[in-house]
Structure 1
Amino acid sequence: MTNTPDLTHAQWRKASLSETAQGCVEVAFIPGDLVAVRDSKDVSKPAHVYPVTDWTTFQDRLRGLVPAELSRIVVTIAKDSVLLSDSRGAVEPHVYTHREWLFFLDGVLNREPQLCAAV
């Protein structure tokens, strides 16, 4: 993960199914070919910031196009939550409900443009 850039003016986006949800996975594409990821339930927690290439690999992993070991971004599904973390352990994981995760996953699987990097 890179040093956290200034995210003051970041335009946060989420999957279309998450539009009315209280909490969700939010992403912002920022200068320097980076993507920031945060949990909308607790925006005081540091965002995870990755190079766009890592984000694209992660989405391809979720779509079943690349093996899990190629993705720097790790998903851990537990009984009552889903954790999104960096395999390099730079910041604490974000914790989502299963519903929040499924809404995000639906957006990824449907290639919603607000979640995809322009490559």
Structure 2
Amino acid sequence: MLDSRLPKDALVCLPYCWHTVPNTTGMILLNRLYRPVSVTAGEYVDYADFPELMVPRYMIHDELYLPAEVPSHTPNDMALHTMFCNPGSDPRRWFFNDCTDPRKGKKQRQRLAGVIRANLNALEELQ
């Protein structure tokens, strides 16, 4: 899907962030609508109904989530590093933001593909 121009509805299928699951120690993978990946807007969604999209929080805060191909010397790259590796007061971890929206072109789609790959690789290594 990330090889070509994205259709408008693609954002419901792409990971946007890891988000805290209330009353648990886990996090869930959400799309840009803050719904579980592949769920469109609509009524209330109970995150507990999507266990296949949840992982323990300790897995998300690992340094492995910073894509290796991103250098960390420019201000933008330092901001990216903070988004993925800083477990400060906001535990969410972002795959893209308004500046790196994958609908903005091939470079941003490739960047998102790299972030997704890094997340998958990290999850596989921790299992």
TM-score (ref. length: structure 2) = 0.28
Between Structure 1 and Structure 2, whose CA radius of gyration is higher?
A: 2
- The structure with the largest strand share of the pair is 1
TM-score (ref. length: structure 1) = 0.29
- The structure with the largest helix share of the pair is 2
